[in-house]
Amino acid sequence: MENDELQKIWKSMGSEFNQKTKDELSLLLSSKVNSTIHNLLKITAISIFISIGLIVYLIITTINRPGDTLFLIDNLLLVFVTAVLLVFKFVSWYHLQTNKFNKPLNEWLKMRIDLLQKYFTGKRSNLYLVLIPVLYILLVLSIHVYFENKPFIEVIHSSESLIGLSVGVPIGLFVAFYSVRKIRKYQLKNLRFLQDLHKRINHLDES
């Protein structure tokens, strides 16, 4: 087979692609832009709604329980961590969305890998292992203490509470870790694919 035979075969491709008119292309672009904005608003609205709802709940319950210092500390910690996580989530989401596709493939892959590595395998990537249990336990305690209608110190010393917490906390933590692990597994698979691709692109240069 001649060298340019492949190019000849390729040229036999008809030109009757589903050629779109300018109006159709405009509609296609508008619907994509709208759906992207819609998704962005949905994610933003849900995150803000949950976080602000939690913060409002914590503030109200704290006001309703004056004089209980431990309860106040528990709730303040939760408010602080929730607010920090909300900001961090938006910053990381913004960076992941700002995908510069107009780069050479090799450069784009490197940028993408660096960014994903920073979030999923970087220094702070295992912070969730500490944050999830701490947040979960603080939240469960806050809710439990508030609805028991007793002082914080008294509630955590009662055997009923201890039994309830020792059963409820592991189950809740299992569900939370399972969900986070599933998401991370998908993200790490994506990262590994890009790393592998980048390696394959460059292996000729290295050898």
Give residues in contact with another protein (CB under 8 A): 1, 3, 5-7, 9-10, 12-22, 25-26, 28-29, 31-33, 36, 99-108, 112, 189-190, 193-194, 197, 200-201, 204-205
Q: How far is the CB of 176 from another protein (least distance, A)?
A: 23
- C-beta separation of 32 from 113 below 8 A: no
Q: How far is the CB of 181 from another protein (least distance, A)?
A: 17
**CA triplet 118, 114, 109: central angle to 5 degrees?**
145
CA distance 81 to 75: 10
- C-beta separation of 134 from 142 below 8 A: no
Q: How far is the CB of 201 from another protein (least distance, A)?
A: 5
Q: Which residue number, 174 or 193, has a Cβ lying nearer to another protein? A: 193
Q: Which residue number, 137 or 197, has a Cβ lying nearer to another protein? A: 197
Q: How far is the CB of 48 from another protein (least distance, A)?
A: 25
Q: Per the structure block, which two tokens stand in for 13?
A: 């491709």
Q: Which residue number, 29 or 50, has a Cβ lying nearer to another protein? A: 29
Q: Which residue number, 160 or 205, has a Cβ lying nearer to another protein? A: 205
Q: Which residue number, 33 or 134, has a Cβ lying nearer to another protein? A: 33
Overall residue count recorded for the chain in this entry: 207
Q: How far is the CB of 21 from another protein (least distance, A)?
A: 7
Q: How far is the CB of 43 from another protein (least distance, A)?
A: 15
- C-beta separation of 106 from 198 below 8 A: yes
Q: Per the structure block, which two tokens stand in for 174?
A: 């299992």
Q: Which residue number, 5 or 160, has a Cβ lying nearer to another protein? A: 5
CA distance 85 to 21: 45
CA distance 105 to 201: 9
Q: Per the structure block, which two tokens stand in for 97?
A: 């969305």
- C-beta separation of 109 from 25 below 8 A: no
